[in-house]
């Protein structure tokens, strides 16, 4: 993870350096190798990862749909319309449609599918702490059967009892608890 962060910072630095010197060289000035002329272009994958959108805690469904539009556009360009497929609900039933969706997703997901909120990202070393704080908040709101899932970041409601009250109360209060915990961070 740390190596990836360093690579992104280096790519950003090389991208920003050419903007530092805005004066045009005179026609009489000798050409000298500079960082501007020697800087390598960042790879497409480094640029895509740096620009990949990220969800935020408390986003509205409209904000999420807007964040998802570049992914949907990419999928359409690859021959699969996810919005149309959701309406028709045929992607799961039609194997050819499912294969097209899978092929398009392999191309589009790494570039455009929004990352989870940082608080819920597996790459975040503090994600489990966030989940534990959300569980504590939910218990404070009367959710009896709630815990952090085995993945360390998801919330499990209902416990072994599959308690309907805990599930419904948890679903009702999770968004508020997530916002409260995120605001304290």
Which pLDDT score, from 0 to 100, does residue 82 have?
Answer: 83
Neighbours of 16 (CB within 10 A): 9
CA of 138: how far to CAs of 93, 122, 146, 149, 169, in Å?
38, 21, 8, 14, 8
Q: What is the pTM of this model?
A: 0.63
pLDDT tens column, 138-166: 999 999 999 999 999 999 999 888 999 99
CA of 43: how far to CAs of 9, 10, 89, in Å?
13, 12, 37
Which pLDDT score, from 0 to 100, does residue 15 have?
Answer: 35
- 36: confidence class by pLDDT, cuts 50, 70, 90: very low
Closest by CA to 181, choosing from 143, 142, 127, is: 127
What does the domain layout of the chain look like in residue ranges? 1-19+37-51, 53-115, 120-184
Distance CA 137, CA 154 (A): 14
Q: Left (φ > 0), alpha (ψ -120 to 50) or beta: where does 145 sit?
A: beta
* Residue written as token pair 């805005």: 22
Is the predicted pLDDT of residue 91 greater than 90, yes or no? no
Which pLDDT score, from 0 to 100, does residue 146 have?
Answer: 97
- In this structure, of 19-23, 66-70, 76-80, the range with the lowest mean pLDDT score is 19-23
């Amino acid at each position: 993870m740390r190596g990836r962060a360093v690579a992104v910072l280096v790519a950003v630095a090389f991208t920003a350096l050419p903007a530092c010197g805005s004066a045009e060289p005179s026609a009489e000035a000798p050409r000298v190798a500079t960082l501007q002329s020697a800087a390598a272009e960042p790879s497409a994958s480094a640029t895509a990862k740096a620009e990949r959108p990220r969800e935020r805690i408390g986003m509205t469904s409209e904000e999420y749909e807007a964040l998802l539009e570049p992914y949907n556009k990419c999928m359409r360009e690859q021959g699969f319309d996810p919005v149309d497929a959701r309406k028709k609900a045929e992607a799961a039933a039609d194997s050819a449609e499912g294969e097209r969706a899978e092929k398009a997703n392999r191309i589009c997901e790494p570039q455009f599918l929004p990352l989870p909120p940082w608080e819920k990202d597996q790459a975040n070393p503090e994600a489990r702490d966030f989940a534990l704080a959300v569980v504590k908040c939910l218990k404070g709101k009367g959710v009896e059967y709630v815990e952090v899932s085995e993945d360390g970041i998801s919330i499990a409601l209902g416990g072994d009892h599959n308690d309907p009250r805990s599930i419904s109360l948890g679903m009702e209060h999770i968004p508020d608890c997530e916002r409260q915990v995120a605001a304290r961070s």
